[in-house]
Structure 1
Amino acid sequence: PGSLGEVLDNLEADHDYLTAGNVFTPDLISTWIDYKRSHEVDPIRLRPHPHEFELYYDC
């Protein structure tokens, strides 16, 4: 995976190994994925990278 978003997509698609033996519940995994997306992936995705800012907005 090239990004945290890709990791979360893959984890969402295949997390049976984490629920085997009742180590984690599906609800816990889903909640954790939602939290990571809303608090880490989306804030970065919705803002320009410092290099983009320098390229397009720096005068």
Structure 2
Amino acid sequence: MTEIKRDEAFKTKLLELVTVVKELHNLAKLSFPNGNPYISSRFGTYGDIYAEIKEVCKYFGIDF
């Protein structure tokens, strides 16, 4: 596999991941009195997983 093919395959999978992360982000934004803090800390607007995926998308030129 060449570098170009690998990068294209990565971008394709990244687009699939973005779809899932956006769905998780929307769920994390829902607020409940006894909500699980893990969800917000990972997938909320300032969550680490959410932020990392956004950063990777910037690097590969993918709109998030």
Instruction: Please say whether Structure 1 and Structure 2 have the same fold, judged by a TM-score greater than 0.5.
Output: no
Q: Which has the higher helix share?
A: 1
Determine which structure has more spread, i.e. the larger CA radius of gyration: 1
